[in-house]
């Protein structure tokens, strides 16, 4: 076995996290860290790994972009008939993971997803550039396709038919999900692997905050 990867290591020294100083609401704490990641010009600061488990019990993970955050939850948009859409239909429990390497920070989130309202999906769909709207219309996300040409042809015809510019053209299989969280873990890398891990657990209408060993 090649040993070269074993020697890749760094000290984490950029910050600290205390159960006393964190916000008492984890969604506000997440917003605070997101703002810091944006200010620090982290690449794709809103990218998060979404993990889902369907009825076959096989976990599946992929990156999606966070498009909304408020005290009710975390919103992302996708194709409802994709693999993730099917899995979320079978089992609405999911996890999200943010990783900002430049900040030496990770946030884990668990909860239950619900589709956002049609109005919310329509508003976001309309705000996307036309080319992105067309792609959402023509791509049967996660289905096997014959080749790239097939997709390009579909996209060209959709442009010619001006499908992307017609109002109310959001496909019914495309829209948002809101993850309603019940668990968060904020991780801040620390020196000599003695990292800070602060957990929020929602029990009896209240966020219990505690620390985990690294
Ligand atoms: C940086 C990045 C951002 C992405 N954003 C989204 C997104 O917001 N929505 C989405 O459906 N897929 C997004 N994807 C693609 C997904 O990772 C994935 O390939 C796709 O959703 C199909 O996943 P599934 O087959 O598990 O359903 C993104 C990928 C990357 C690398």
Instruction: Please say if the pLDDT value at position 167 is more than 80.
Output: no
* DSSP 8-class letter at 15: -
Give residue 146's pLDDT: 98
Instruction: Please say if the pLDDT value at position 123 is more than 90.
Output: yes
CA gyration radius for the chain? 20
Pairing of strands 105-115, 93-100: antiparallel
Strand boundaries in the chain, DSSP class E: 47-53, 59-70, 73-79, 93-100, 105-115, 174-188, 196-203, 206-211
Which is the closest atom of ligand 1 to the Cα of 86? 27
Instruction: Please say if the pLDDT value at position 22 is more than 80.
Output: yes
Give, using CA atoms, the residue closest to atom 29 of ligand 1. 63
Region 111-124 average pLDDT: 97
Give residue 165's pLDDT: 82
How confident is the model over 40-79, as pLDDT tens digits? 999 999 999 999 999 999 999 999 999 999 999 999 999 9
How confident is the model over 170-208, as pLDDT tens digits? 999 999 999 999 999 999 999 999 999 999 999 999 999
Contact between 12 and 104 under an 8 Å Cβ cutoff? The reply is yes
Contact between 193 and 186 under an 8 Å Cβ cutoff? The reply is no
Give, using CA atoms, the residue closest to atom 10 of ligand 1. 78
How confident is the model over 134-158, as pLDDT tens digits? 999 999 999 999 999 999 999 999 9
Domain 11-211 is of which CATH architecture?
Roll (2.30)
Instruction: Please say if the pLDDT value at position 168 is more than 90.
Output: no
Give residue 100's pLDDT: 98
Q: Quickly state the pLDDT bin for 2 (edges 50, 70, 90).
A: confident
Residue spans of the domains in the chain: they are 11-211
Contact between 23 and 44 under an 8 Å Cβ cutoff? The reply is no
| Pocket mutation for ligand 1, best pick of 54, 60, 78 (most atoms within 8 Å of C-beta) | 78
Known catalytic membership, residue 193: yes
How confident is the model over 80-107, as pLDDT tens digits? 999 999 999 999 999 999 999 999 999 9
Return all residues near 212 (Cβ < 8 A) that are at least 6 apart. Answer: 185, 197, 198, 199
Give residue 166's pLDDT: 80
Report which of residues 80 and 13 the model is more confident about: 80
């Amino acid at each position: 076995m090649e040993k070269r990867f074993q020697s890749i290591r760094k000290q984490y020294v950029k910050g600290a996290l205390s159960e006393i100083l964190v916000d008492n609401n984890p969604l506000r704490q997440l917003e605070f860290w997101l703002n810091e990641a944006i200010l620090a010009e982290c690449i794709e600061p809103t990218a998060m790994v979404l993990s889902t488990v369907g009825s076959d019990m096989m976990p599946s993970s992929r990156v999606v972009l966070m498009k909304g955050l408020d005290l009710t939850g975390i919103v992302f948009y996708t194709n409802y008939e994709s693999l993730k859409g099917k899995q979320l239909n079978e089992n609405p429990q999911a996890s999200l993971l943010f990783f900002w390497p430049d900040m030496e920070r990770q946030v884990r989130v668990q909860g239950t997803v619900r589709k956002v309202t049609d109005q919310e999906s329509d508003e976001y769909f309309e705000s996307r550039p036309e080319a992105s709207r067309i792609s959402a219309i023509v791509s049967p996300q996660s289905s096997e396709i014959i080749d790239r040409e097939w997709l390009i042809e579909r996209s060209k015809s959709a442009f010619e038919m001006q499908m992307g510019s017609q109002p109310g053209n959001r496909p019914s299989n495309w829209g948002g999900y809101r993850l309603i969280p019940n668990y968060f873990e904020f991780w801040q890398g620390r020196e000599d692997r003695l990292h800070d891990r602060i957990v929020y657990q929602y029990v009896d209408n209240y966020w219990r905050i505690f620390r985990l060993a690294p």
